Structure 1
Amino acid sequence: MKKKSLIISALTLVLALLALFSFFQARKHPVERVTKEYITNKEVETEPSASEPSSSSSSSTTLSSSSKEEKVEVSKETQEVVSQFLEADVTYDLTVKSLLSRSETLSKIMTKEAYEQLKIQSTTDSLVAMTNKWLTTKQVDTSSGDVQLASQKYHSANVTPSASEPHRFYVELSYGETPVTTNESQSKTQLLWLSVTDNKVSDVEVITTK
């Protein structure tokens, strides 16, 4: 009889433990489900929608669009003429050979009107006379007015074609100038407009030289 009571008590205890275990399991699952759902909803709220672009993306696109410039097509021949002119115009030594070579090169790549407009020939004649006098007397002839006895050397140039006139170019020209009396090179920058017609320089408008 006593043994039977012990068995019944043991079964009752087991059933009670099972009931208690089931109770805790039932409470545990809803908590886990709610927690996972909250985390998922939080991620959705903080993640930007794919159908709505962010303000920074829109701003970047607008900036890129507004900074685009219209491309101007320039022929290879025209580019070569511009380069040849800029280099030849500000590159010469104070020797008769160098001065005459510059004059000859410019006469081939410039129209007659532009060549005369820039007074290439008269400037060359003055420089040749001044150079000869310097070599023989070491004196600088100042009777030639604006013509200075100085050698020049091309450094670089930034050339921008006009959007409205494809054969007209805005130029920032950099070169060195060395006066014969000091023999010290000075950096110069010249701003000018340059026009090309039929693969020849047809007009040169110097804005400033500093």
Structure 2
Amino acid sequence: MVSASTGPSGARVVLYFFFDFQDSSKQSFDGLLRSLIQQMSFESEHYEARKVVSDLFHSCKSGTNQPSTEKLKDTFVRIVATFEGVHVVLDALDECPPGSPSRRPILEWIFGLFANERSSGPFIKFFITSRSGQSDIESRFNSLQAYKQRLSVDSRDDIHKFVHDRLEQEEFKWLHESPETRNKVISTLMERSGNM
């Protein structure tokens, strides 16, 4: 996780999840949700997020039962609503296999969040990477012409330039308040890009 916040009432957070075809826990929808929830709950100054996680824990008989995917989705949305802004980086979405039981639900969940945001839902932005040629992913995102930016990259220099340019845009200006966090965002994205 890479995060920066301005205090609980105006907190913003950047969350990161890397899909990995070699690790089944990094291909599951529940694994994605658990990771994002955990990252938000670790915000040391953000009591509201920890309270929502505590409620989930108690609703599962103090950890005796595992939460359902629906409970995890609800918990994610409830925690996001406690932040001023949430940016989610989903790296290598294509490494969640097309025939897996998670890929389609993940895509449907992302698009459900887009629909809710447009009707006054919580502020959340996604930065999603995937190899080209993934027809299901491409077709879903092609339906969001006004909401997407598409970039093909061929080298590490291109990736670095893209990340740097994106972080200069207005929606990421808050990262300039913490050069350490900004540099961590850049280095993490560069490291995880693996010269794709």
TM-score if structure 2 supplies the norm length?
0.24
Please say which structure displays the higher CA radius of gyration: 1
TM-score if structure 1 supplies the norm length?
0.22
Q: Higher strand proportion, which one?
A: 1
